[in-house]
Amino acid sequence: MSVPDSPSLTGSAIGREDLLETSLPGVYEAGDVRAGSAKRCAAAVGEGAMVVQFVHAHLRGQGV
């Protein structure tokens, strides 16, 4: 899926698989959209909870 007028995202959490960050700073992936995901609801919920924390840190300017 692509979003008009948006940069392309490549790879899965480039160089930072454990942090779920995409190649676009501040954009994270979780659940079924993530390459190599477990394709399980519980895993997606857990990853989503982690991403919330990463987004809050990014918005505070602390990075991940």
For the chain, helix (H) and strand (E) counts, in that order, are 1, 0
Q: What is the pLDDT of residue 45?
A: 92
Q: Which residues of 23-33 are buried (b: 16+ CB within 10 A; e: fewer)?
A: eeeeebbbbee
Cross-strand bridge partners of residue 21: 28
Confidence of residue 64 (pLDDT cuts 50, 70, 90): low
pTM for the structure as a whole: 0.61
Q: Determine the longest span between alpha carbons in the chain, in angstroms.
A: 33
Q: Which pLDDT tens digit goes with each residue over 43-59?
A: 999 989 888 888 888 88
| Domain extents in the chain | 1-64
Distance, in Å, from the CA atom of 6 to the CA atom of 32, rounded to the nearest integer, reads: 21
